[in-house]
Structure 1
């Protein structure tokens, strides 16, 4: 009788996605599961993230508890992994989730934990990350990148522009606002250039890094198919939801003043720091383009917003999917 233990051959590689239950995380987990990876989703509250499991086959996706502010929880969550992806970030501060705590200290914890266990890492930053930025969000994102590369020099850094998709907090918020107000304010004339990127394209880029198809120790800038002003993006959104609204300019000072008041509310439309961040264009740099550190350089053709927005913004039309769209003249 053979008493030797059974050996498992060709075990699928295990990828731990930290912060994998959010908007971007769901797309990343789905892209990895589709490729056959075992995916461990590390989140603060796994008991409310069971909706992740249907993104893969039975047993392919598992949930574990972790908080980037506590190094021991990261060490435990990534143990035995073949790759780590850190997607944790906040757009507005609340409670203990401060920019510095999450973007810098948390990123440092993950990078040091991955390095200690010799596990390769992909870190999600943001387009516009800048050590000299007046925006705390942008500045801490850049400081986080520094901390990551110091601890794990071979880490892949992803810098996406504002991300759109089914559950985004960009078009959904403004489309919802357009349901209740005849006026849609744009800050500073809405002249800020933005290169919005589709969440599915961002997920594909992350998956390529996990597959080892991207250069280690490199920062990639992820921008979409189109570069437009904030005002033009709002115009496109209004066309999709078939609503006519007056787009009016709001001076920077007035926007910041209102944002400070609105920022006191839970889940504010915009914060004072976001107003500051909007003063700078958010587009892929010429250097990244020339050095092929973009989606196109990876071989990914960015999907245009015109093909994606109607698939989920229809719910903001007067009669939803049954609204008869006006014919273009």
Structure 2
């Protein structure tokens, strides 16, 4: 067993839970830092996982929790902003605190979760620009001796996801037709198990230091095709009506005021950039991408 703990930030989310299970199952002790650990008491039952209360935005406090860890994995991210959670604070300022804390604690390895086509300067949305800025900050830690690897996934699917499950929930309640914004947006959904495998593989491979890996599934779809696939999988006869550009923008303007912000203007801007890979990062890591047909029906049905 590797006795040096891996510290995980953002481990309560969809990817985080899958990653924790995979790492602890293969003998990696993990340490999870949570602001409100009492909300996630079920995680205390995971063998090999230590849960600690802490403030991720306090570099000094974070440094204390990183002490003794050989690796830190940052999965923290938001798709939409709230009054208290802003893109720049979560995606950029947090990475600044993390890198400073990692230096102080002597952590030698950092895995950073980014997003496909994240770019600090030319990203098509504030989400993509902030993700790109955070990724760049993480890679600058190489200058201080921290071995950094980042991952840029397309939309991630798997049991418990917020993509196919969300559309399935909406399709089950609509009255026969479904108005879909940005129907021609192109995506290459990647399986959460493949994302976890990519991170797991990179942990012990020095060749991945300093690298940025785009992660995509084996097929490219239009968004409308994926929603129609979801409807067919759950056996719902719903007509998916693709909206034009103007109505898509209008839907975003209206929906971002609804509870849970199902679709925002920044989401609309993100979808203007095709969410597909120009390199096969999974293949570079010796992994083979999993198709949606092998996984999605098993949890949607």
TM-score by length of structure 2 reads 0.93
Corresponding position of 1:12: 3
Corresponding position of 2:178: 184
Corresponding position of 1:128: 117
Residues 257-299 of structure 1: CA distance to partner in whole angstroms, max 9, x if unpaired? 22222212331211110011001100111xx33xxxx112211
Aligned length: 295
1:199 aligns with 2:192: yes
User: What is the DSSP-based 3-state SS (H/G/I as helix, E as strand, rest coil) of the residue aligned with 1:27?
Assistant: helix
State the 1:118 CA deviation. 3.0
Q: How do residues 79-90 of structure 1 correspond to structure 2 at under 5 angstroms?
A: 79-90=67-78
Residues 35-68 of structure 1: CA distance to partner in whole angstroms, max 9, x if unpaired? 101110112211111222344x2xx111112333
Q: How do residues 13-28 of structure 1 correspond to structure 2 at under 5 angstroms?
A: 13-28=4-19
Separation in structure 2 between the aligned mates of residue 187 and residue 261 of structure 1, nearest angstrom: 12
Q: Mark the runs of 5 or more structure 1 residues left unpaired by the alignment.
A: 1-9, 315-329
Maintained 8 Å contact 2:231/2:237: yes
State the 1:186 CA deviation. 2.5
Separation in structure 1 between the aligned mates of residue 170 and residue 257 of structure 2, nearest angstrom: 18
User: What is the DSSP-based 3-state SS (H/G/I as helix, E as strand, rest coil) of the residue aligned with 2:76?
Assistant: coil
Q: Mark the runs of 5 or more structure 2 residues left unpaired by the alignment.
A: none
User: What is the DSSP-based 3-state SS (H/G/I as helix, E as strand, rest coil) of the residue aligned with 1:13?
Assistant: coil
User: What is the DSSP-based 3-state SS (H/G/I as helix, E as strand, rest coil) of the residue aligned with 2:178?
Assistant: strand
Summarize the Cα distance change of 1:125–1:90 in structure 2 as closer, same or farther, 3 Å threshold: same
Residues 185-238 of structure 1: CA distance to partner in whole angstroms, max 9, x if unpaired? 2223x2121011111111111112222365101101111121111111112111
Q: Tell me whether 124-133 or 80-89 shows the greater mean CA deviation.
A: 124-133
Separation in structure 2 between the aligned mates of residue 63 and residue 266 of structure 1, nearest angstrom: 30
Separation in structure 1 between the aligned mates of residue 36 and residue 142 of structure 2, nearest angstrom: 27
Summarize the Cα distance change of 1:106–1:62 in structure 2 as closer, same or farther, 3 Å threshold: same
Corresponding position of 1:142: 132
1:70 aligns with 2:81: no
Separation in structure 1 between the aligned mates of residue 291 and residue 125 of structure 2, nearest angstrom: 28
TM-score by length of structure 1 reads 0.85
1:301 aligns with 2:288: yes
State the 1:92 CA deviation. 0.5
Separation in structure 1 between the aligned mates of residue 264 and residue 9 of structure 2, nearest angstrom: 26
Maintained 8 Å contact 1:208/1:214: no
Separation in structure 2 between the aligned mates of residue 234 and residue 226 of structure 1, nearest angstrom: 15
Q: Tell me whether 107-116 or 80-89 shows the greater mean CA deviation.
A: 107-116
User: What is the DSSP-based 3-state SS (H/G/I as helix, E as strand, rest coil) of the residue aligned with 1:200?
Assistant: helix
Q: How do residues 23-34 of structure 1 correspond to structure 2 at under 5 angstroms?
A: 23-34=14-25
Summarize the Cα distance change of 1:242–1:81 in structure 2 as closer, same or farther, 3 Å threshold: same
Separation in structure 2 between the aligned mates of residue 267 and residue 211 of structure 1, nearest angstrom: 39
1:44 aligns with 2:31: no
Summarize the Cα distance change of 1:237–1:68 in structure 2 as closer, same or farther, 3 Å threshold: same
Higher alpha-carbon Rg: 1
Maintained 8 Å contact 2:4/2:68: no
